Structure 1
């Protein structure tokens, strides 16, 4: 794989340029025996196919996992230096290894790189290999853009805004640079004769939805997505003449440049000017995309670290823009596994959006079947705020047609985000308690959101069950034989015993819960005594049975 270029420039970039371009810290230089001005001519992901020259490319060692403590030597300590030596033998310019806080790059890999004279870099733990590829692609595009004319020099020195200004001056109109979501990334000065659409676009920071719909109906957007040329839209009523060109890299759509006539005609060479501006905008839009995806991934990594208690928690708070002394609570919304995975994605996305609407400072993490929200709270308002968010999420989830059940737990308020993992763990226990109560029909109308104070006894019981499970699983006796035999036959007796014990031995009430005739339940209880020797009048037996049926229900 070779990074894309804009054409007319070099097809390589130096290691120094890559590192200078890396504002987000995707890569960390460990050593460069040949210096940082070595040319990088592309990227190789892992071991692509048969042994062949690497010709100055960076090798991303994607197949090597970090050398975790206790892992076999072949996984880290031996595999990493071997990969470095092989890359050097094939003529690679550098090797990138993955590292984490618990698994730094092996010392033997550093020694191998020094010995072979090849640069060695480490990929940030929060990033992925796609970020490394995007960084190299963006840096190469900047190197390829070159300089030598007003627009190129302006773009190189002042970024997208300077490019928009220089382009507007040369084509005689107003320029807007947008990404693929129709968000305004840069624009030239807006003159007094600018039309209303331009004004509303600039003020709102994005193209109005109505305007996007109109462009879609007219077919202009379809033409923009498919054409590589400048598209002309003649003046129509109050809408002035416009030119638009897509900004692409290797065929990938990155955004677009729009030129609008403001009270005068566009210049005769406006098409050529806009085409040149589109090429010069490529590296800037690649960098914008890299920063945007990097920011999202870095924040997700930081929030995940806080919730699970991993890594440098103070650094995680700094990445999220949160103070170390601000109280917070965690709310977790967990969805049952749905039949329709796409429907699940829509539900979780809606919950995540609702959480950010509830409070702009909330930090939201979506993982598999759940949404976790780190909610900064005001002094004294923690429990109320967390429960209020849980209630809003419950109302939203309940109103989504055909959505799988979602249960929402609010954890305790902790004095600092440094202790967010405590609140998160408690929020998950609340969810587990809600599921347990619903499964055992403790609530006539299932409650789908709660705080720890609402289900405290159930949480305590679940903690006790977790503690006693190893003792139960290692034991033997009549109760074990009853549970094992009856579950193999369908579990009717176990369910009957559970209902009998939970109702305090009230046979009519237990029978109603089971939708049985009381005599049928009495027969089952008598069978337990006669077949397995279970004495339900003995308190120790009842205790062991109660624990056993609860543990069985939790499987």
Structure 2
């Protein structure tokens, strides 16, 4: 739907119809001073058209600056220009300002809030499909499901009219609705309906025959003659504009299709558009809402019980989190590797919840009990590591398993520990601690390194606030390449064994002794003093030069 039109009769589309269509809660009505039966004629995104009247459109306040003043001004300006409603963004920590509510009440304009889990694309898709649904009318085969109709009613009516069996499929070949199946139905139809989707072998056959290519590109009804046990079929794509939403299939079921079957199917495809748009919107909304809920659980944000409910998980089930993290410098290679890991986790752990974002894949893994949790999490970590290692030319990926927690309400603790495990693995690899590198582990496998990292995190502010010869040494040497810092790190890690430290640095021992003498003479540091050695050890670790 674009600004300027919602169809031939815009007054048929009301705010009430749009909200009734919104089953997933993309929008929340805050107030409607003029009632919900106000006509809606389209939408405006942001401040589209500086002086253009809004003429009963819904204004999406995208790109709105933060703060109540901007929200209040947007509401007032939209009302002045004749808008029907304004949609503001809302989050759990930033509700719609009271000033905006007061302005809407005063100006007599409806005010809505966009759900925290949704984005403006979801809102636009909702308004577009809700408008198409409302414009399709409330009578006949396009009737609302609450009134005993919807897609099943459309399919039944179409089957009667064309005297055939009807199946509606989405673009993933999943069956969304079908008419009654008679005793003479062919085997492909029966297996498709029983399985809820077209069998893979059938999809492969349709691809080889070129039928799918024709379907995706054709604007008309496709005829397929009877062939052996396969009856005569008519197929038509369901499109909204240029967007492919799915397809309708009519099969002769013990009798010939009606002479006007193609015309009936063409009309049914038009009436099916809003229903398939609703299916796509619901599917998209479910995926986005679940991702929002899982992100909230892992990061400890928002209402954790509500997040568990959104994910369909009980609040008393133990769980563990497994995280796979890529090397951010690897770019597209690492992206492909993470995508493969996300698919593997989804396919191999049906009860798990997988979140793919930025440079990582996180898996919330429900487990039977606390005792099983460590084994289950480590098993998945090992599996993902093996997959990453087996991908040709794959980028490095480190996989950490967090501790098992008593409930998904505590998932953030397991997630934090899994990230610490990944940090520990990368730290050990960078320092040459493991040969060959170990790329997956649980907390118990790298416990001392995790403790060291947490101590370093705690001591960092103390170090950064300090001054003196040690700080002067670190700052001055890093500014000129860091040779002294690296030499000190090797010397301290080998417990003062100069020959061993020199081999690690690929230096002559006398060169290392010269550098250590420079540290003593130039900065006045006593490397035999326990306190000096402790602070130096922490300082060189904090620099991250190794």
TM-score normalised by L of structure 1: 0.93
The residue aligned with 1:16 is 16
- Contact 2:3–2:44 under 8 Å retained in 1: no
**Aligned-partner SS, 2:54:** coil
- Determine whether 1:34 maps to 2:34: yes
Q: Following TM superposition, by how much is the alpha carbon of 1:238 offset from its aligned partner in structure 2, in angstroms?
A: 3.1
Matches for 1:443-454 after TM superposition, within 5 Å: 443-454=434-445
**Structure 1 residues 176-218: Cα deviation after superposition (integer angstroms, max 9, x where no partner):** 1111111111112222332332233223222233332332333
Matched-pair contact (CA < 8 Å) for 1:85–1:113: yes
Corresponding residue number in structure 2 for 1:356: 346
Query: Deviation at 1:479?
Result: 2.2
1:212 paired residue number: 203
Indicate if the aligned counterparts of 1:11 and 1:140 stay in contact, CA closer than 8 A.
Answer: no
Please state if 1:307 is matched with 2:307.
no
1:373 to 352, 358, 363: 363
- Equivalence for 2:268: 277
Instruction: Please name the residue that 1:456 is paired with.
Output: 447
Q: How has the CA–CA distance of structure 1 residues 17 and 238 changed in structure 2, closer, same or farther, with 3 Å as cutoff?
A: same
- What is the aligned partner in structure 2 of residue 244 from structure 1? 235
**8 A contact 1:154–1:163 mirrored in 2:** no
1:172 maps to 163
Structure 1 position 147, deviation (Å): 5.0
Q: Distance in 2 between matches of 1:473 and 1:340?
A: 32
Contact 1:329 1:412 in 2 (8 A): yes
Q: Determine the C-alpha separation between the residues in 2 that align with 1:481 and 1:154.
A: 75
TM-score by length of 2: 0.95
Shift of the alpha carbon at 1:131? 1.5
- 1:346 corresponds to which of 332, 336, 340: 336
1:242-275: CA deviation from partner (whole Å, max 9, x where unpaired): 1111111122111111111223321100001101
Match of 1:335 among 295, 304, 326: 326
Paired residue secondary structure (1:298):
helix
Aligned pairs for 1:85-484 (under 5 A) are 85-147=76-138, 149=140, 151-153=141-143, 157-341=148-332, 343-379=333-369, 380-484=371-475
Cα distance change of structure 1 residues 528 and 53 upon mapping to structure 2, 3 Å threshold:
same
1:27-67 per-position Cα deviation (integer Å, ceiling 9, x unaligned): 111111111100111111111132201111100111125xx
Distance 1:405 1:140 in 2: 48
- What residue in structure 2 maps to residue 72 of structure 1? none
Aligned with 1:445: secondary structure?
coil
Task: Write the distance in 2 (CA, Å) between the matches of 1:338 and 1:490.
Answer: 22
Structure 1 residue 359, shift from structure 2 partner: 2.6
Which ranges in structure 2 are unaligned for 5 or more consecutive residues? Answer: none
- Identify if the C-alpha distance between structure 1 residues 522 and 398 changes in structure 2 by more than 3 Å, giving closer, same or farther: same
For 1:147 and 1:376, the matched residues in 2 are separated by 44
In the TM superposition, residue 338 of structure 1 has moved relative to its aligned partner by: 4.4
Aligned to 2:61: 61
Q: How many residues align?
A: 544
Deviates more, 1:197-206 or 1:450-459: 197-206
Any conservation in 1 of the 2:338–2:361 contact (CA below 8 Å)?
yes
**In 1, Cα distance between equivalents of 2:128 and 2:401:** 43
Summarize the alignment of residues 489-504 of structure 1 with structure 2, pairs less than 5 Å apart.
489-504=480-495
Structure 1 unaligned runs (5+)? 66-74
Contact 2:155 2:178 (C-alpha < 8 Å) held by counterparts:
yes
Rounded to whole Å, the distance in 2 between the matches of 1:186 and 1:476 is: 73
Superposition pairs for residues 496-515 of structure 1, below 5 Å?
496-515=487-506
Which range moved further: 43-52 or 277-286?
A: 43-52
Instruction: Give the Cα separation in 2 of the matches to 1:449 and 1:245.
Output: 50
Alpha-carbon separation, structure 2, partners of 1:225 and 1:231: 11
SS in 1 for 2:197: coil
Conserved? CA contact 2:143–2:150, under 8 Å = no
Q: Distance in 1 between matches of 2:124 and 2:11?
A: 15
